[in-house]
A and B are shown apart, each in its own frame.
Chain A
Amino acid sequence: MSELSIEAVHLSRRFGSFLAVDDVSFSAARGEIFGYLGANGAGKSTTIRMLCGLLAPTAGEARVAGFDVKTAPESVKASIGYMSQKFSLYLDLPVRDNLDFFGGAYGLSGPDFAARADEVLRLCDLEHERDAITGSLPGGIRQRLALGCAILHRPAVLFLDEPTAGVDPVSRRHFWRLIRRLAREGTTIFVTTHYLDEAEYCGRIGLMVDGRLVALDTPAALKRRYVPGRVLSVRGRNLASAAASLRSRPGIIAVEPFGAGLHLQVAAENWNADSVAQALASAGAQAVEVESGEPTLEDVFLAVVARPREVRHD
């Protein structure tokens, strides 16, 4: 088997006249955490569904765990774990019954399976909840159970479609510890998210805009490429009008509203925190505080979405 766990080549999917996924190509190596970012409707779930053999591609090819999704979808299904957007557990059943059912669905039974189910309960930190009715548990625990159900059969590739939507930050952290552990043990993880802080955990990130994969690299490389120069975060009053006058000055690469303040991308040779603060103050802003910071993936995302066309032709 090749070391590539996922290989998508010119993958497209059309719904009527709507091109949900447009000529997407990428690959993920064994044990890699591959993040897939994009706005709602950008084509993330459609890509996952094609890779899981749930949806036939309109054009292009994909191999998952060594099997072609078009010609051998059953072999694909047997080698992957899939956690869909609204992790569809049976809420009226206890935790352990959910595990038993999904184990059976993957053809697992007997003492080996019982031992594996216990192991998964331990791994996902669900030992105290094994007899609790799933519907009575908070979202974070249900999410770990859904993950547990998806890894019972030790899949080679794990697809997670927005696994942390609506889950509290502590549980999200806990969840990602589990994901990284699985990846270290050799499971390839394909995860969509729109929490950009989570995307930092990914080995590589693909950015989807309107069905196209417009950027693909490690988080650090994406930042270097799309957010060159220095990132300054600015707080203060009357920032908007002051910033507008700054836009045309040489060395100012981008001005983006960020929370209550601004993120400024500036060329390092022309600007620093003090000179930006001075310039803003003289343009009418008050109580200006400038901090230089690391570029975040959010800066990358905004930069990419703002100019998808330029990027496409790279």
Chain B
Amino acid sequence: MTRPMRFLVRVGAMASKEVMHIRRDPRTLYMALAMPVVMLLIFGFGVSFDMDRIPLVVLDGDRSVASRALVRAVSAGHEFVIAADSDEATALRMIRRGQALAALAIPADYQRDLAAGRDGEVQLIVDGADGVVANQILAKIDGLVRAESLRRIDLAAEPPLQVKVFTLFNPEARSALFMVPGLAVYLLAIAAVLLTALTVSGEWERGSMEQLFASPVGRLEIVLGKLLPYLGLGMLQLLLVVAVGAVIFDVPIRGSVALLFFVGFLFLAGMLGQGLFISVVARSQLVATQAGALSSLLPSLLLSGMLVPIENMPRILQALSSVIPARYFVHAMRGIMLKGSGLSILWTDLVALTIFALAILALATTRFRRKLA
């Protein structure tokens, strides 16, 4: 038999053994296929940054036609509900107890000031304990009050300046559109790193690695044989996650599906390489699981731009995020799915993912010595 033929036979033997392991242990399939979908559903339905029905206390000191119009304007939509119409002490108590998140105070001479052509001033008291919530309340109140003041000016004359906002790509500001591509990345990263980390460290623990080293199987053959089945499984995961996003959360794929899967392939190769590297260094399933989960979970969640915009991070974290492959994949996924971006825009992401994948695979293969000591 020729050398390349033997190489293929050995890689094939490694890969088909891996497939047999997966078939024998449905937990691996569950972890690889069901978990991401379940988590996608939980996060997709559960994590929403769109707040509505925020409990608001009204402190109307004026009780005039104008003040009632303002309260109506604020509470007419689904953003706020009036939790109470009361005094300042009650409002503060309710905010402290969490029964209300904000209070709107209208002074006694509100209508008189407006009538006299002076500025009408109202005060907003916000529970600032959760910064994200406070910011949303401020933005929402600001918009509603602005609309009310425009309406008042409109009664008199046409305002000189008007901003007409037109939001591209996600006009209803739905969290799902923004979250699903990011979540897909996160879930793939965890599954890919964990799966490979477990399978290689398992060979060490079982002692079968020593048996393999005593056979003519080369390290490249072991690495390829270990990676290929999980690469296939990862692509299946990607398909599933994208399909769940499209069917259940109505997330569009405006760009090329082929490009999406090609980027996914590069990302998965890098993540599988990372898992391999961890298991080569760790040699124990326990350590590999922990290191695998930590090294894929935290960076993919926090530094990828999935939850926190990278532009808002301190400079040092921005620098750190540039070596996290999830960052490029999140960017590319959002680009392809929401904006319909093509290669001309996303090529930098592709280059970064390719470099990471090649570097980590080379590192893992080099560190993977076929000697025992």
Contacts and interface: CB of A to CB of B under 8 A. Distances in A.
Contacts of A24: none
B201 to A, nearest CB: 14
B12 interface: yes
B207 A84 contact: yes
Interface stretch (B13-21, B133-141, B235-243): B13-21
B214 A52 contact: yes
A88 B212 CA distance: 10
Contacts of A52: 214
Interface in B351-373: 370-373
B170 interface: no
Q: Looking at A55, A104, A108, A159, which has the most chain B CB atoms within 10 Å of its CB?
A: A104
Interface string B1-45: 100011001101110110011001100000000000000000000
B206 A88 contact: yes
B372 to A, nearest CB: 5
Given A54-B371, A84-B207, A104 B21 contact: no
A256 interface: no
Contact of B214 (A77, A86, A92): A77
Interface in B330-350: none
Contacts of B206: 88, 90
Interface in B314-341: none
B211 A49 contact: no
A89 B208 CA distance: 7
B25 A92 contact: yes
Interface string A134-162: 00000000000000000000000001000
A171 B271 CA distance: 46
B249 interface: no
Contacts of B14: 104-105
A102 B209 CA distance: 12
Contacts of A49: 372
Given A53-B214, A107-B9, A97 B208 contact: no
A84 B210 CA distance: 8
Contact of A107 (B6, B209, B372): B6
Contact of B10 (A88, A92, A104): A104
A109 B10 CA distance: 9
Nearest to B222: A105
B210 A54 contact: yes
B312 interface: no
B287 interface: no
Interface string B187-217: 0000000000000000000111111111111
A105 B212 contact: yes
Contacts of B213: 54
A52 B210 CA distance: 11
Contacts of A108: 9
Interface in B209-255: 209-217
A97 B22 CA distance: 13
Interface string B49-69: 000000000000000000000
B309 to A, nearest CB: 45
A107 B208 contact: no
B24 A55 contact: no
Nearest to B206: A88
Contacts of A103: 13
B373 A55 contact: yes
Contacts of A258: none
B371 A55 contact: yes
Nearest to A15: B373
Interface string A100-138: 111111111100000000000000000000000000000
B81 to A, nearest CB: 57
B17 A101 contact: yes
B371 to A, nearest CB: 6
Interface string B165-179: 000000000000000
A90 B208 contact: yes
B214 A82 contact: yes
Interface in A157-179: 159
A285 interface: no
Contacts of A54: 210, 213-214, 370-372
Contact of B17 (A80, A93, A107): A93
Nearest to A109: B9
27 contacts: A49-B372, A52-B214, A53-B214, A54-B213, A54-B214, A55-B373, A74-B216, A77-B214, A77-B216, A82-B211, A82-B215, A84-B210, A84-B214, A90-B17, A90-B208, A92-B25, A93-B17, A97-B17, A101-B13, A101-B20, A103-B13, A104-B14, A105-B13, A105-B215, A107-B1, A107-B9, A107-B216
Interface of B: 1, 5-6, 9-10, 12-14, 16-17, 20-21, 24-25, 206-217, 370-373
